[in-house]
């Protein structure tokens, strides 16, 4: 490694370390954005909870009927999957704008760039926490089979958040440079919602179940949803999640090291 790339690497790592430890910055900015969105409403961010609940209340019975499912098992399945999907798609879609929306700060302050990505991740976790209320209520109504596997669910959420971080770094950078990428990603995510087993069971594909297994999002959902439904998580789901995390982080790090200094010029 020559000296120039060693400097680039150390600056990038320094940015990430400083960003991660700036716990007085990104949570504050994330909360500010949430508050800003709901500032003058009476219920504030609980509108998120209500709108998700309303949607599930409508979709659950309808799709349960359409797919000929037993509501007692389909309703929790759909709700958990949908709430997780909101988290995942929020991380992906807002990750695109991580740097572009912070153009003012990036062009005028020496704030670590990773702060802007962590702010997106944290904001989406706040939103997720509001939707979590629905799941908690639901799990009281439809109690899952108690097992130690339940403890794996928070780990699965953590993995989703971790993946949101590298993804935000990578797509945030790409979207700052190429302005049609956010639009591409948005359409991909819309299609992905229907291609991912959120509303339907992978098992109902029968011998084509492998098609759902090819979709990494299937496995991210499984690591949280299966434990909450009292099902064991297939080991290969954990393997896929871990693999995506490692490969994705490596890709994001490589791009960030190379292009970090350019971001200020791109936004």
Partner 1 sequence: MSTARIVADNVHVEFPIYGARNRSFKNAVLRAATGGLIAEDAARHVVVKALNGVSFELHEGDRVGVIGHNGSGKSTLLRVLAGAYEPVAGTMLVEGQVASMLNITLGLDYEATGYENIFLRAVIMGYRPKDIEPLVDEIVAFSELGDYIDMPMRTYSSGMSMRLAFAVSTYVSAEILLMDEWLSVGDAEFSEKARARLNELVGKAKILVLASHDESLIRSNCNKIMRLSHGQLTSFEAV
Nearer to partner 1, 107 or 147 (CB): 107
Q: How far is the CB of 45 from partner 1 (least distance, A)?
A: 14
Q: How far is the CB of 179 from partner 1 (least distance, A)?
A: 5
Among 36, 68, 141, 187, binds partner 1 (CB under 8 A): 36
Binding positions for partner 1, 160-179, rule CB under 8 A: 177-179
Tokens, residue 228: 């909450």
Nearer to partner 1, 169 or 171 (CB): 171
Among 5, 21, 73, 107, binds partner 1 (CB under 8 A): 107
Q: Name the segment binding partner 1 (CB under 8 A); options: 54-62, 73-81, 236-244, 259-267.
A: 259-267
35 contacts partner 1 (rule: CB under 8 A): yes
Q: How far is the CB of 133 from partner 1 (least distance, A)?
A: 25
3 contacts partner 1 (rule: CB under 8 A): no
32 contacts partner 1 (rule: CB under 8 A): yes
C-beta of residue 120 within 8 angstroms of C-beta of residue 195: no
Task: Report how far residue 119's alpha carbon sits from residue 224's, in angstroms, rounded to the nearest whole number.
Answer: 23
13 contacts partner 1 (rule: CB under 8 A): no
The secondary structure of 138-171 as a DSSP string is HHHHSPPPP-GGGGHHHHHHHHHHHHHHHHHHHH
Residue 44 Rama label (left phi>0; alpha psi -120 to 50; beta): left
The alpha carbon of 153 is separated from its chain's Cα centroid by a whole number of angstroms, namely: 15
Q: Name the segment binding partner 1 (CB under 8 A); options: 22-30, 92-100, 131-139, 216-224.
A: 22-30
Angle at 112 between CA 217 and CA 88, to 5 degrees: 15
How far is the CA of 110 from the CAs of 28, 57, 58, in angstroms? 17, 46, 47
Place of tokens 């994001």: 252
98 contacts partner 1 (rule: CB under 8 A): no
80 contacts partner 1 (rule: CB under 8 A): no
Q: How far is the CB of 260 from partner 1 (least distance, A)?
A: 8
* Helices first, then strands: H and E counts in the chain: 11, 0
Place of tokens 């959120």: 198
Among 1, 42, 110, 136, binds partner 1 (CB under 8 A): 110
28 contacts partner 1 (rule: CB under 8 A): yes
Q: Nearest-CA neighbor of 115 among 21, 196, 231?
A: 21
Binding site for partner 1 (CB under 8 A): 24-25, 28-29, 32, 35-36, 39-40, 104-111, 177-181, 184, 261, 264-266
């Amino acid at each position: 490694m020559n000296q120039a790339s060693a400097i680039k690497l150390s600056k990038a790592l320094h940015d990430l370390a400083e960003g991660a430890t700036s716990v007085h910055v990104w949570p504050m900015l994330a909360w500010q954005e949430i508050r800003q969105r709901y500032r003058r409403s009476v219920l504030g961010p609980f509108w998120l909870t209500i709108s998700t609940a309303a949607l599930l209340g409508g979709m659950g019975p309808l799709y349960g009927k359409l797919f000929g499912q037993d509501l007692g098992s389909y309703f929790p399945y759909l709700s958990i999957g949908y709430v997780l999907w909101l988290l995942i798609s929020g991380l992906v879609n807002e990750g695109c704008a991580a740097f572009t929306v912070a153009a003012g700060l990036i062009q005028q302050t020496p704030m670590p760039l990773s702060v802007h990505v962590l702010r997106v991740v944290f904001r989406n976790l706040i939103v997720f926490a509001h939707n979590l209320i629905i799941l908690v209520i639901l799990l009281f109504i439809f109690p899952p089979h108690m097992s130690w596997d339940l403890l794996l669910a928070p780990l699965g959420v953590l993995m989703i958040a971790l993946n949101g971080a590298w993804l935000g770094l990578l797509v945030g950078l790409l979207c700052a440079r190429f302005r049609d990428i956010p639009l591409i990603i948005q359409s991909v995510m819309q299609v992905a919602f229907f291609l991912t087993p959120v509303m339907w069971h992978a098992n109902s594909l029968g011998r084509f179940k492998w098609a759902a297994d090819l979709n990494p999002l299937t496995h991210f959902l499984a690591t949280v949803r299966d434990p909450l439904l009292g099902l064991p998580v297939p080991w290969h789901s954990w393997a896929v999640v871990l693999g995506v995390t490692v490969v994705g982080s490596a890709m994001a790090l490589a791009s960030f090291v190379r292009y970090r200094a350019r971001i200020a010029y791109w936004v």
